[in-house]
Structure 1
Amino acid sequence: MGMFKDLKKMSDIGKEMSEQKRKEMGWEKSKNPLNPSGFKMSDALKAGADAAEQAQALQAEMMRQQELLTTGMPGTATVKGLQDTGQIVNFNPQVVLDLEVTIEGKGAYPVQFSTTIPQVHIPMVQPGNTIGVRVDPNDPSSVAIDWARPQG
């Protein structure tokens, strides 16, 4: 008898969670028996458009990073701090890095940017470590981590 009470309790909790999510998403409760969830196609289209926009932004950033790795000035950066954003891209964490960048002919200067860190390189970006970077000569705040260069 206790098992059935537990099953009902779990079912009720699931319904409550669904209702709460529906309210968060702005979906109204449907009285239509053909669409009991109240889901609107426009919600799905908006979510799809948002996802496509995020994917385009990520792809543009990846292309910019690749271009920097081939055309940027070599430099070094000391990791001053990092913050996990909670986002994962292809199983790799996205973080905000605080760096102190040094390039030839220019003093050290701070840069903060968001990037994805490959799992195998996480130990390299711990505070205090020095990493190789490439810097945009026209915009010194635009930096890409050069994973191929020996780290110091």
Structure 2
Amino acid sequence: MTIEARLAELGVTLPDAPAPAANYVPFVITGNLVHVSGQISQNEAGLITGKLGADLSVEQGAAAAQRCAISLLSQVRRACGGDLSRLVRTVKLVGFVNSTPDFTDQPKVINGASDFMVAALGEAGRHARSAVSAASLPFGVAVEIEGIFEIR
């Protein structure tokens, strides 16, 4: 099954890749790897903001992480000239969770992105990962995730 077919089965339409918010590029291709800059939690209504452990539940955080994963795939599609069939696998995700000092469920929040990658890409979506806490994130967003992807 193609990635597009899996996404359609999941009811997900990839948006246009978000533009950078500062002086950096959205991705860098080196060899067969695409390094995607951090994608912040946002949906059609705008930014998903808040602090885990205070304003947002783990489930809301996981949903925000899934939105970051959707943006990551949008950037990979752009890096591949619109052809997602060039995507070989997700190599690594690094997730940052805007959370209170006593919040310890960062892995459960970033599972929203990891679970989505596996659902969308199958075994090619399995990846290495880090999930860390941040005292704050740009624009007050709940989650930011960067990724490394292998392409052909």
Larger Rg: 1
Larger strand share, 1 or 2:
1
